[in-house]
Amino acid sequence: MTENQSMKNTTDKAPHRVVLVKGENQWRFEWEAGQELEAVEAITAIAKSNENDFDWFDAAMVCHEMSKITAKAA
């Protein structure tokens, strides 16, 4: 399950957040407009790691939700 949220901020760059809940684990990804590449790189690094339960399918879901948020913000 994922959750989309655009957080209100007093600056021009409002941060965006995607939360992925998988079993008892929860991953929160937050970025500002223009930081999408850095966020995807971080998501990729987590998916590559064998130290957690976050896999490539999870990464694809989070990136998909990010693209939906980014499209709405444009």
Nearest to 38 by CA among 66, 61, 12: 66
Give Cα separations from 44 to 22, 28, 57 (angstroms). 17, 14, 11
The reported pLDDT for the residue numbered 16 is 95
**Could you report the per-residue pLDDT of 35-58, keeping only the tens digit for each?**
999 999 999 999 999 999 999 999
Q: Would you tell me the crossing angle of helices 36-48 and 56-73 to the nearest 10 degrees?
A: 170
Q: How many CB atoms lie within 10 A of CB 44?
A: 13
Q: Provide mean pLDDT across the span 19-36.
A: 95
